[in-house]
Amino acid sequence: MTISPQESGRAVEARSVSKSYGPVRALHDVSIIVRPGAVHALVGENGAGKSTLAKVLAGIEPPTSGMMTLGGAPYAPRDRAEAKRRGINMVPQQLSLVGELSLVENYLVVGSRPFVNRRSARSLLAATLDRARVEVDLDAPTSSLTHSHRQLGEIVVALAEGAHTLILDEPTASLGPLEVGGLFEHLRSLCELGTAIVLITHRLDEVRQVADDLTVLSHGLEVHHGSATGLQPAEIARLMVGELPELAPRAARARGGATLRAEAVVARSTRDAGLDRVDLAVHAGEVVGLAGVAGSGQNLLLDVLAGFVPPSSGTVTLDGSRTVTITGSRASTAAAERGGATASTLRAAGLAWIPEDRRDAVVPTMSLRENLAVYSSARGGRADARPPVQGSDDASAPAARLAAFDVRPARPELLAAGLSGGNQQKLLAARELGGAQTPSAVLAYGPTQGLDLRAAQAIRERLVDLAADGAAVLVASHDLEEVRAVADRIVVMFGGRIVADLPIAEATTERLGRAMAGLPADDTPLPTLPEEPAP
C-alpha cells in the first residue's frame, strides 16, 4: 500500500492496537491503515474482532494498548463525538435513524452544530446527496424509506457532518443482491471524492466486488492485510478459517405429503409488499428456499404462515400433529386478534419459528434456561409443557442442548442479554430446532445470520436433518448462498407474488437473479410483468 503525500494527510492508522474486556482479549496487536479514496474491507468470522476494531477506530471504545494516528498526528478520541469531529464516523449495523423523522430532521437531531436551521440543513444534505450521486427522499419519514435508502441516508447524514472516513458495520447484511450492487456503486463514487471507507462484512464475494484493501482478522489477530485485488473468495475464506467447510453430502430423502400449504393467500402489510394470491406447498421431508429482494413479500408470507397476520383471503393449512387451517376473512381487527390465537395453535401443532429479527424471539431478561423452556409457559400448554421423560435429568438437559448448538457460554443460568448476537441466534436455533420432538414444519428467516461459517454450517445441517426426519422446512433469506446451501428447491418472490419455483439443480445464480429482479426467466418477455416496487 503506497500512500501519496496528500492522501497521507488524512490516513487513519492504528499500530499494534489491543483491546481486552477483563481477561478476554478481543484484539491482539492489530495494525491497519485506512487510505483516503479507497474501500478497505474488514473481514473475519464472528468474534474475530471486526466490530471491536471498528469501535476503537470510531472512538466508541478506547484501546487497551497501542496507538492510532490521523494524518500523522496522534489520534486518541475520548468518545465518539470527538472521533466525529475529527472526521471519523461509524454507521452501525442497526441503523440509528429515528423512523418518525425525515433525513433532514434526523440530521438536525444528531448534528453537533448548535445552530443549524432546517433550510440550510436541507441544502447541505441535498448538496451532499448530489456530490455522492445518491437520490434519497430527504423529507419523507425515514421509516417509509426502503432499507437500502435508510442505509444511504445514514451515510449521507454522516458525510454532512463532515466525515472523511466512514466505517460501515455490515451494511449489506439485510440487502438483496441488486441493492448491494447499488450501495457499492455509491461507495465507489464516494471514494472518488476522497472518502475513506471501512467495510465490515461476512460476505466474501463483496470483497472482490468493491474492496481495494483488505484486512482479515481471526480470533482477534490480524492474519492478512494488503491489496484486495486478485484475491478469490475461497482464498480469503481459507485465511479466515483455515478451510471452508464442505456441505455434508445430501442423503436422498423421501418427500411426503404437503405439510404446510398456502392457497391463494392475499394479505396486506404496511412494511412489506402485499401478498397477491400466493400458492405454496412445503412437503414433509423437503427443504424449500424462499428467495427475493428485501421487501418482496417474504416477511409477510412467513408472518401469515406463522399465524401472526391473518390473510384477508385464501387459506393456510398445517398438517402437523393436528391439522390447523386458517381461512382469510375481511373483519380486520377482530381477525387480527383471532390471528394471534392461531399462532399458538400452529405452534402447538409443531411449527418451529426462527424470525428474521432474533429480537422478536429471544427474551433478553430471561435466563438461557427460561428462553429454552419458554413454550412450557404457553396457554393451556400443561400437557406438552414437560418434555417426554427419557431418563434424562432435568438439570443437565438445558446445558446439553446449549452445548449441542455451541452456545457460548453454555451456562443455563446466564441471562440471554449477556450473549453476543451470534450466540443469541444459536440459542434461538437450540430452542426451535433442538427439541426432543421433530417439528412438523420449520419457518426460518435467515437462520444463520450473524453466525460464523462453522456455526452456520451446523444450523444448516440441523435443518437438513429435520427434513430427513420428516419435517417440512421453509428457509428464507436475503443471502442467496444461505438458501442454496440447504434447499431442495427454490421459490422466488417478487412484488408479493411467487415468480419462480426451481429445483436446486436448475437454480443457477443467473436464473435466480433474473427472477429476483422481476425479469422473465428467459429472453421472451412475459405478458404480465409484476409492477416494480417503489424505490
Which of 37/49 has CB closer to another protein?
Answer: 49
- Min CB(296)–another protein separation in Å: 21
Which of 381/533 has CB closer to another protein?
Answer: 381
Strand partners, 306: none
* Interacting residues toward another protein by CB under 8 A: 21-24, 26, 46-52, 55, 60, 92-94, 96, 169, 306-308, 333, 337, 340-341, 343-344, 346-347, 353, 355, 359-366, 370, 374-382, 385, 408-409, 413-415, 417-424, 450
- Min CB(339)–another protein separation in Å: 8
Strand partners, 88: 165
Task: For residue 186, count other CB atoms closer than 10 A to its CB.
Answer: 19
Rounded to whole angstroms, what are the CA distances from 19 to 91, 170, 405?
21, 21, 28
- Min CB(419)–another protein separation in Å: 6
Query: Whole-angstrom Cα distance, residue 401 to residue 462?
Result: 13
- Min CB(516)–another protein separation in Å: 26
- Min CB(153)–another protein separation in Å: 17
Which of 250/359 has CB closer to another protein?
Answer: 359
Which of 424/477 has CB closer to another protein?
Answer: 424
Which of 404/504 has CB closer to another protein?
Answer: 404
Sheet holding 196-201, edge to edge: 88-91, 165-169, 196-201, 39-43, 213-218, 221-227
Query: Whole-angstrom Cα distance, residue 466 to residue 184?
Result: 38
Residue of 19, 460, 448, 1 whose CA lies nearest to 202:
448
Which of 9/92 has CB closer to another protein?
Answer: 92
Query: Whole-angstrom Cα distance, residue 56 to residue 63?
Result: 6
Q: Is 18 helix (H, G, I), strand (E, B) or coil?
A: strand
**Locate cell 483516503: which residue?**
36
Instruction: Output the DSSP codes for 37-73.
Output: TSEEEEE--TTSSHHHHHHHHTTSS--SEEEEEETTE
Question: In this structure, what are the phi and psi dihedrals at residue 128, rounded to the nearest 5 degrees?
Answer: -65, -45
Which of 127/378 has CB closer to another protein?
Answer: 378
- Min CB(264)–another protein separation in Å: 24
Which of 52/148 has CB closer to another protein?
Answer: 52
Query: Whole-angstrom Cα distance, residue 364 to residue 431?
Result: 14
- Min CB(316)–another protein separation in Å: 15
- Min CB(513)–another protein separation in Å: 30
